[in-house]
Amino acid sequence: MSTTTDVKTCTAASSSETQKLQPVTDRGYSLGSQGIHNLAFGGILPKNQRPRFSDKLKERRHVLEHMAGTFRVFGRRGFNEGPAGHISVRDPVDPETFWINPLGLHFSQIDVSSLVHVNSEGEILSDGNQAAINAAGFRIHAQLHKSRPDINAACHAHTVYGKAWAAFGKELEMINQDACIFYKNHSVYQDFGGVVLDSEEGKRLAESLGSNKAVLLQNHGLLTVGETIDEAGYLFTLLERTCEVQLQVEMASRAGLQRNIIGDDEAYYTYYNTSDPESLYSSFQSDYNYELKLTNGEFLQ
């Protein structure tokens, strides 16, 4: 079904950061290497590890299949909102260009052949779908890819709970384990200037993201980034769900219930062991594979 069989499976990711936490608690946390091996047990690593490619054309095909699959996941989760919302992925063959969705096509209908290849000047390239793209989407994603060479994918949509929590212009609280994936790794863009039809607004938005993996766009929506589309896609679905829980906690607090905030040591320990690109890639595969089964791989066309 998929065309991405010629790949090298990566081993567990490692990190040069082996610092020991200096906890204010007595838990004595220490940090080893990051990677999916921290989440697996039984001496067997999960099958859904991030692949490595020696052939850039095969890598492109894999990226586009997973990009189309991410749109299908977003569509199933109800993230579509008229012409709003876009995902972009840097092209592995020509990193100065990127792929993005066509304007006006529902997320649930997107497949590989729907995707549009565009350069940094906004020119539609001949090897992708010849279709118009979202003007605001281009301005946002062009600036993101220019300012963050370390990321290859970005997801933005106007989701219900994301829009609701973003209206407060506040960061998320560390009120559960999943929220800790965004611990000190998300920001808030409070300078809403209307629909992004000006390249300067795109630059300000990219600057607000900084080195983080997510940004809450006040009065607008959510945006996540990653080394892979799978990482960015998983972070987006998680961020939307985290906003939903945050809003529910806010309402319960108004009813008199006391919320408990996770401490910095515990939050960072959780973040460190669950938020690396390899783990987040793997975390998205259950949704991607479910979409493959639901559609019988239709979006691979």
Give the C-alpha separation, 155 to 153, whole Å.
7
E strand or H helix that includes residue 290: helix 277-295
Looking at the domain assignment, is residue 68 inside a domain?
yes
What pLDDT was estimated at residue 14? 36
Torsion of CA 186, 192, 194, 195, to 10 degrees: -10
Contact 154, 223 (CB under 8 A): yes
Residue 281 confidence (pLDDT) above 70 = yes
What pLDDT was estimated at residue 8? 37
**Domain extent at residue 296:** 52-300
CATH of the domain at 96: 3.40.225.10
CA 43 to chain centre: 29
What pLDDT was estimated at residue 15? 38
Given the structure tokens 């990482």, which residue do they identify?
A: 231
What pLDDT was estimated at residue 30? 73
The answer to whether the Cα torsion of 240, 147, 92, 128 is positive or negative is positive
Question: What does the pLDDT average to over 239-247?
Answer: 98
Q: Which pTM value belongs to this model?
A: 0.90
Residue 193 tokens read as 């200037």
Cα first-last separation, the chain = 10
Q: Tens of pLDDT along 103-139?
A: 999 999 999 999 999 999 999 999 999 999 999 999 9
pLDDT bin (cut points 50, 70, 90) of residue 187 is: very high
The answer to whether the Cα torsion of 71, 77, 79, 83 is positive or negative is positive
The number of folded domains in the chain is 1
Looking at the domain assignment, is residue 171 inside a domain?
yes
Q: What is the mean pLDDT of the chain?
A: 90
Looking at the domain assignment, is residue 199 inside a domain?
yes
- Please name every residue paired with 100 in a beta bridge, in sequence order, or none if there are none: 88, 116
Q: Tens of pLDDT along 200-234?
A: 888 888 999 999 999 999 999 999 999 999 999 99
Residues near 33 by beta carbon (within 8 Å), at least 6 away in sequence: 12, 13, 14, 15, 18
- Please name every residue paired with 98 in a beta bridge, in sequence order, or none if there are none: 90, 118
Q: Is 189 helix (H, G, I), strand (E, B) or coil?
A: strand
As a whole number of Å, the CA-based R_g of the chain is 19
Q: Tens of pLDDT along 143-174?
A: 999 999 999 999 999 999 999 999 999 999 99
Q: Of 76, 156, 64, nearest to 109 (Cα)?
A: 76
Residue 199 confidence (pLDDT) above 90 = no
Looking at the domain assignment, is residue 257 inside a domain?
yes
pLDDT bin (cut points 50, 70, 90) of residue 195 is: low
Looking at the domain assignment, is residue 33 inside a domain?
no
* Angle at which helices 229-254 and 56-76 cross, to 10°: 30
Looking at the domain assignment, is residue 216 inside a domain?
yes
Q: Is 258 helix (H, G, I), strand (E, B) or coil?
A: coil
Looking at the domain assignment, is residue 18 inside a domain?
no
More confident residue, 48 or 66: 66
Give the C-alpha separation, 100 to 161, whole Å.
24
Q: Is 184 helix (H, G, I), strand (E, B) or coil?
A: coil
Q: Of 85, 218, 221, 250, nearest to 163 (Cα)?
A: 221
Residues near 83 by beta carbon (within 8 Å), at least 6 away in sequence: 103, 104, 134
Residue 280 confidence (pLDDT) above 50 = yes
Specify the DSSP class assigned to residue 93. Answer: S
pLDDT over 70, % of the chain: 89
Residue 20 confidence (pLDDT) above 60 = no
Torsion of CA 213, 219, 220, 225, to 10 degrees: 0
Q: Of 4, 150, 147, nearest to 68 (Cα)?
A: 4
* 43 conformational bin, left if phi > 0, alpha if psi -120 to 50, beta if neither: left
